[in-house]
Amino acid sequence: MKKIRLPNPIVLATGAIGAFWIADIINPGFNPIGVMIFMLIPIIVFDFLYPQPELGQLIEQAHYHALTNPEEVETKTGEIVEEKDEDEASE
């Protein structure tokens, strides 16, 4: 799985200011877009200050386990799985 590169907060602030500027010129519907972009800035700053490396390690372990033991992986994306009855499973 590829890591997602988060945008710089300065780029987000510039985009939000641009949305407010376009809202004054073209359409007031861009105001909520600017507000939503400004609301993303604290989340990205918090993620930058307090990274969670253990979450990335858990994801990598799950991918490694799925690649090395494909017979233990029960489902795949888009696969329909039928549940077995207890009687059938014991046979």
pTM to 2 decimals?
A: 0.51
Give the burial class of 16: count Cβ atoms within 10 A of its Cβ; 0-12 exposed, 13-18 middle, 19 or more buried. buried
Q: Which of 44-48, 58-62, 69-73, 83-87 is modeled with the greatest confidence?
A: 44-48
Q: Both tokens of residue 73?
A: 């992986």
* pLDDT at 17 exceeding the cut of 90: yes
Q: What is the pLDDT of residue 87?
A: 53
Percent of the chain with pLDDT over 70: 67
Q: Where are the domains of the chain?
A: 9-69
- Residue 4 zone, left/alpha/beta (φ > 0; ψ -120 to 50; rest): beta
pLDDT band at 78 (very low <50, low <70, confident <90, very high): low
Round to whole Å and give the CA distance between 39 and 44.
10
